[in-house]
Amino acid sequence: MKKLLGLVAILAFSVASYAQKGPKIEFKAKDNTIDYGTVSKDSDNGMRTFEFTNTGDAPLIITNVQSTCGCTVPSKPTEPIMPGKTGKIDVKYNMNPGRISKTITVESNAVNYEGGKVALRIKGEVIVKEEKNVLEKQKVGPQS
């Protein structure tokens, strides 16, 4: 029994020592998604921020951030993010009326995502507020 416990302890230590070392990126947004909700083109500039932390043990370098279309413009950190520090990726959507469903791909040296690539998503809906024409006659109920 002692031999079995000793073997299990050695195996557990061996597995722990082979854990991935290097930079790791963890985003604050649930499911790496920001939901704009229903927003008005006139009252929202379309800017959102994905915050992340380097939970690894080496500097995190964001090498590229790109969107699936030209209507979404992302920006990336220019300096490495040190272990334990946070960074941000700003995303500006052009606020065209309609449904929002876009993907932003982040490329980095993070070891906790295959190839260091992470997909971020934005979703929601942009509406145009109806403007009231002050010159238009008000509808009034039947008059006696």
Residue 132 pLDDT > 80: no
Q: What is the pLDDT of residue 50?
A: 98
Q: Average the pLDDT over 75-84 and give the result.
A: 96
Is residue 138 predicted with pLDDT exceeding 70?
no
Share of the chain above pLDDT 70, in %: 77
Helix, strand, coil content of the chain in percent (nearest 5): 15, 40, 40
Question: Hey, what domains does the chain have and what are their CATH numbers?
Answer: 25-127 (2.60.40.10)
- Output the pLDDT for position 129: 79
Distance between CA atoms of residues 95 and 72, nearest Å:
9
Identify which of 49, 44, 94 has the alpha carbon closest to the alpha carbon of residue 76: 49
Say what the pLDDT of residue 2 is.
61
Q: What is the pLDDT of residues 23-39, one digit of tens each?
A: 999 999 999 999 999 99
Distance CA 42, CA 71 (A): 17
Q: What is the dihedral of CA 104, 33, 125, 37, to 10 degrees?
A: -150
Q: Quick one: tokens of 57?
A: 């043990």
pTM for this entry: 0.76
Strand partners, 26: 53
